[in-house]
Amino acid sequence: MDGGSLNRLHKNTEDQEFIVEYPRPQLRRAAWRSLDGPWQAMLDDMAACADPPEVTWDRTIVVPYPPEARASGVNDRSYRRRVWYKRQIQLDPSMTPSREERLMLHFGAVNYRARVWVNGRFAVEHRGGHSPFSIDVSRHLDGSLLEVVVQAEDDPQDMHKARGKMDWEPEPHKIWYPRTSGIWRTVWIEKVPRAHLSQLRWTADVASWQIRLDADIAHVPEGGIANVTLRLGDKLLVADRCLLTGPRLSRIFQLPDPGIDDARALWMWSPESPQLIDAEIEIRSGDGNLIDSVQSYTALRTVSVEGDRFVLNSRPYFLRMVLDQGYWPDSLMVASSDQLRHDVLLIKRLGFNGVRKHQKSEDPRWLYWCDVLGLCVWGEMPSAYGFSSATVHGVMEEWKELVERDISHPCIVAWVPTNESWGVPELMNDRRQVDFVRALYHMTRALDGTRPVVGNDGWEMPCGDLVCVHDYEQDPKVLVERYGSRDAVAYTLQHVQPDRRRLVIDGFTGVGKPLFLSEFGGIAVMKNSEEPGWGYSVAKDGKELLARYQLLMSAIHACRPLSGFCYTQLTDTFLEKNGLLGEDRVPKAPVDALAAATRGPDAHLHDWYLDPLGHAKRWLARRGPDFPIEWTRVGEIAEVIAYPGERQPVGAGSNSPGPDDPPATPPAGAGGFERRSRGGAGARPRRRVA
């Protein structure tokens, strides 16, 4: 979005907050209300209660934080089978549906099986701990009263459901983290017309300079009309009007193609120039009356594979990614929009143009910030650990829901349905497991033919559009020997086993496909051997970390066959101490030096090299004066962009702290983020929650 579009979308700080906090950024309506906040609850450890009347509501949980998180007010990491929730609210007139309206209840994620009662009536059951679901609760309403009861059931030791990094042992160990049970993403209600847009999908094709819209419409009105408007800043691109003949709308919009690259660049999305296109879709009756209106956005962005190169917008593009686990000390897998934006800015500030969100389906608001600020994303399925028919059914269904949720975000440039043979531990010996990996690959390609799909990220790859190797070799010379030439790569794929695993199997050679070192590095900083935690190698301080990081990055940039890399990892996460940042998001070494190593020796050839966030000069000029400047600030008074040894107090002189002095106190607020005072300078009003 450039200045003009933001001026329309964010006419004041309240509107700006509306967009920032909206749980579904690409399909927005005015009539919605968050149900986040205190809910009555019961921890049903032994699954003793089957129905709401049996429940004793003996505590409060702050939704959307899981009971294992301190932020929930419970902070209990014991094993449990069920968590019960209850919330009653009085709907005000603006949210009470008329006979021609519906009230939708949305859950961002509930782990693992959710059963929902509305005003005492059973309403729905959903399986899948990472994907969203919705309910039309209109027929269950009793006047303006809305009571919601949720039973969240999750066997903490079930190894055959998608669980990502959630530990099965009582406490986190090795690379595993605390469990996240119950409700762990926003719950919200939305008032919609009976005839309404229920789902949107945007698809761009740079080669033909087209954008396609596919929309699902509930209860299509007879003789109804759809109006679609697309704008690039203040420029009207499309004003389309068509007759609705069924519940599915498909339109292809041919945009005016300026032709030459220099002019085209101002239209296209990339990390260096994250240009978005604003969209509005209306449903009108045959006589022209407005029925439904939604705001959305899309972008001109195409990704593909050409030979052994990853291609963005018809040109080879080198991905510099970081592995991001998406955990916070106080809230585990849950974060505020400010925290999500903060992480995106930090990733860009460290010189990366992409991120692999690891074993987690991240909040759509995080994807929104990646769209707005320009960061390529590999979307990944949280894995199961064991293989069975239950694994096949559960993973397939949940992955399908997640791909469909995120498919329109321009930031997503690849899909990763399987990681390191998790959930398929006997790929070398079980034909069914090979077939399952291939089935996931082909299903993903069938759902979305516009992005490359990874077969099995790390090793034992039986298929895939990209070849993705995990290699934690710490000697830079060995990395160059393995990946420094095409002949070396061919030998490595067939004969080298970085983790005692074959890299390619079942007739898949990987030769001639884009090669990514999709996990490497993992340098920890630990002051003494008694400190709990680990890394793939250990540096004694930030200075040594930087020196090792520079050597590794220099070697990786010298490996010309690579199409990109993914460094492990962004932050320390529980026992993993191998982050470039601590859990509190404070850098362990000077950010400018880390970013220079990340960007590589050729970065100075590009004008984005001069911008700390990697934005091109023309993009910086085009985004305009109305672009909220705080969106590009990593922290107020530079608390986060400096590591502790660099911090300068106001009026600092000869008494400035040195690199060996204790770190300055981090800013107040969850997870080390700055806390804005209510109503003070830079504060933004929050949207009211129930």
Q: Where are the domains of the chain?
A: 3-14+195-298, 31-191, 311-471+503-615
What is the tens place of the pLDDT at every residue in 7-60?
233 333 344 444 458 899 999 999 999 999 999 999 999 999 999 999 999 999
DSSP letters for 279-304: EEEEEE-TTS-EEEEEEEEE-B--EE
Distance between CA atoms of residues 11 and 9, nearest Å: 6
- Those residues whose C-beta lies under 8 Å from the C-beta of residue 221, and which sit 6 or more positions away, are 195, 244, 283, 285, 286, 291
pLDDT value, residue 671: 30
Q: How confident is the model at residue 528 (pLDDT cuts 50, 70, 90)?
A: confident
Question: What tokens were used for 232?
Answer: 């690039």
| pLDDT average, residue stretch 208-226 | 96
**Among the CATH numbers 3.40.50.720, 1.10.10.10, 1.10.645.10, 2.60.120.260, which is that of 31-191?**
2.60.120.260
- Those residues whose C-beta lies under 8 Å from the C-beta of residue 572, and which sit 6 or more positions away, are 533, 578, 579, 581, 582, 583
Residue 421 CB-half CA count within 13 A:
21
pLDDT value, residue 527: 84
Q: Are 186 and 34 in contact (CB under 8 A)?
A: yes
CA 163 to chain centre: 16
- Those residues whose C-beta lies under 8 Å from the C-beta of residue 388, and which sit 6 or more positions away, are 160
Question: What tokens were used for 199?
Answer: 């789902």
Torsion of CA 541, 577, 336, 566, to 10 degrees: 90
- Check residues 337 and 399 and name the one with the higher pLDDT: 399
Question: Which has the minimum average pLDDT: 131-145, 551-565, 675-689?
Answer: 675-689
Share of the chain above pLDDT 90, in %: 83
Task: State the DSSP code for 497.
Answer: -
pLDDT value, residue 366: 97
The C-alpha angle with vertex 600 and arms to 595 and 604, in degrees rounded to 5, equals: 90
Q: Are 482 and 473 in contact (CB under 8 A)?
A: yes
pLDDT value, residue 674: 29
Residue 228 CB-half CA count within 13 A:
24
pLDDT value, residue 662: 31
The C-alpha angle with vertex 609 and arms to 605 and 612, in degrees rounded to 5, equals: 175
Q: How confident is the model at residue 683 (pLDDT cuts 50, 70, 90)?
A: very low
Residue 241 CB coordination number (10 Å): 11
pLDDT of residue 676 exceeding 80, the answer is no
| pLDDT average, residue stretch 458-468 | 98
Residue 38 CB coordination number (10 Å): 13
Q: How confident is the model at residue 644 (pLDDT cuts 50, 70, 90)?
A: very low
Beta strand extents in 285-374 (DSSP E only):
290-298, 303-306, 309-312, 315-316, 319-324, 354-357
pLDDT of residue 4 exceeding 60, the answer is no
How many H-runs (helices) and E-runs (strands) does the chain carry? 12, 31
What is the tens place of the pLDDT at every residue in 619-629?
888 876 556 66
Beta strand pairing call for 37-44 and 290-298: unpaired
Q: Nearest to residue 63, comparing CAs of 121, 15, 106, 122?
A: 106
- Check residues 294 and 644 and name the one with the higher pLDDT: 294
pLDDT of residue 667 exceeding 80, the answer is no
The helix/strand/coil state of 401 is helix
CATH 3.40.50.150 describes domain 3-14+195-298 = no
Q: Are 205 and 212 in contact (CB under 8 A)?
A: yes
| pLDDT average, residue stretch 378-383 | 98
| pLDDT average, residue stretch 215-237 | 95
pLDDT value, residue 20: 53
The CATH code belonging to domain 311-471+503-615 is: 3.20.20.80
pLDDT value, residue 72: 96
5's enclosing H/E stretch is helix 3-9
What is the tens place of the pLDDT at every residue in 239-284?
999 999 999 999 999 999 998 999 999 999 999 999 999 999 999 9
pLDDT of residue 165 exceeding 90, the answer is yes
**Rounded mean pLDDT of the chain?**
88
**One-letter identity of residue 639:** E
